[in-house]
Amino acid sequence: MSIASDSQASDCTTTSGRYQLLPEWAPQSGVMLTWPHANSDWAPFLTQVEPVFYQIAEAVARREKVLITVSSEAKKQEVMAHFAKLNLEAQLNVFVQDTNDTWARDHGPITVIKDDKPLLLDFTFNGWGDKFDAQLDTELNAKLAAEKAFACELETIDLVLEGGSIEADGYGTLLTTSECLLAPTRNPSMDKAAIEALLSEKFGLNRILWLDHGYLAGDDTDSHVDTLARLCDPHTIAYVQCDDEADEHYAALKAMEDQLKSFTDYQGNPYKLVPLPMAEPCFSEEGDRLPSTYANFLIINGAVLLPIYGDEALDQKAISQMQIAFPNHDIIAINCRPIVEQYGSLHCLTMQLPEGVLA
């Protein structure tokens, strides 16, 4: 399977028995969504958040399949009826399973290529370091596999790892944050070297770029990289920039920016860095700052779904910057202000499923 367009790469093609982690821009068969329900923390916000889920699913369904998990047969019928009105029902695969929450980025499977075929890796999800109950979510991939939701095999990996904590370039590079992957609540028996060794084996890595700086107020993931800095292609990183010295994020994000400037791509050249604006501060009803970020975008076939938050000037600036990072993609803005009420955003809700994963 060809997953990258850069002809200069020597390590793009897999060898027998070797794993290769696919980048998000690899051709996709679909996107995974786990629908909100009344027995989750979404209960007070369902009327606000369900329209956002529909917008995401519709945008994806016009380009590829959508794998949706719902909590009841009644909700399955409701979702199918909605997409039937749009003549998109053939794009949906809907399954009924119990779930704790909706963050498919972190409980969904991560796709690698092994022996020239897609393989799903099922890591343990422990609610971002046992902050929240996640037993049903960490069991979901195996249950979906048992229902033949996937057209390829699922391999269980004994490691706590969330999809939002990693970025891949398709050429053996992993971008991540030390605060998250080295958190003692994830894999306390493993040090940095042990984690690097296991990830290098299971993802076919040549190197890991560790970001040691950067955070968002209100974030309970221990600084997932997908809220801060994102690979857009093997040579480009879009990242959150804070230019207000009075903002609580300024020092950490400036240090992150400086570190990104020191990184080189897999060919040894400095990355093209595309700064994204700091989102206008959002607060919960209790007055807590919410982790709104434009970096939490999703790459799909031919388009990028970009979360926006209702500040027209900043939203438009983010759209313009994303067009620089993705000159050949449509930029589809989706208002995710309701989603950050539960301390996540668009990318956190979704997991891309590369070609060959869905029948």
Residue 5 predicted with pLDDT over 60: no
Residue 33 predicted with pLDDT over 90: yes
Instruction: Give pLDDT, residue 16.
Output: 54
Q: In this predicted model, which residue has the larger pLDDT, 236 or 282?
A: 236
Give the pLDDT band of residue 7 (cuts 50, 70, 90). Answer: very low
Strand duo 330-335 + 298-300: pairing? unpaired
Of 3-12, 32-41, 224-233, 271-280, least confident by mean pLDDT is: 3-12
Backbone angles phi, psi at 204, to 5 degrees: 65, 45
Residue 12, domain member (yes or no): no
Give the pLDDT band of residue 17 (cuts 50, 70, 90). Answer: confident
Residue 8 predicted with pLDDT over 80: no
Bridge partners, residue 173, by sequence? 207
Instruction: Give pLDDT, residue 4.
Output: 38
242 is known as an active-site residue: no
Name which of 99, 123, 131, 102 is nearest 32 in CA terms. Answer: 102
What 3-state DSSP class applies to 306?
strand
Residue 184, domain member (yes or no): yes
Residue 3 predicted with pLDDT over 90: no
Is the pTM here over 0.85, yes or no? Answer: yes
DSSP 8-state symbol, 222? S
Task: Specify whether the backbone of 108 is left (phi greater than 0), alpha (psi in -120 to 50) or beta.
Answer: beta
% of the chain at pLDDT higher than 90? 93
CATH number for 233 = 3.75.10.10
Residue 15 predicted with pLDDT over 90: no
Return all residues near 170 (Cβ < 8 A) that are at least 6 apart: 3, 4, 9, 12, 20, 21, 22, 23, 25, 26, 234
Residue 312, domain member (yes or no): yes
Whether the CB-CB separation of 79 and 92 falls below 8 Å is answered with yes
Of 136-140, 257-261, 288-292, least confident by mean pLDDT is: 288-292
Residue 9 predicted with pLDDT over 50: no
Give the pLDDT band of residue 359 (cuts 50, 70, 90). Answer: confident
Round to whole Å and give the CA distance between 326 and 58. Answer: 21
**Where in the sequence is the domain holding 242, given as residue range(s)?**
19-354
Residue 66 one-letter amino acid = V
| Overall number of domains in the chain | 1
Residue 11, domain member (yes or no): no
Reading the block at residue 182, the tokens are 């080295």
Whether the CB-CB separation of 96 and 73 falls below 8 Å is answered with yes
Catalytic residue among 152, 180, 336, 348: 348
Mean pLDDT of the chain: 94
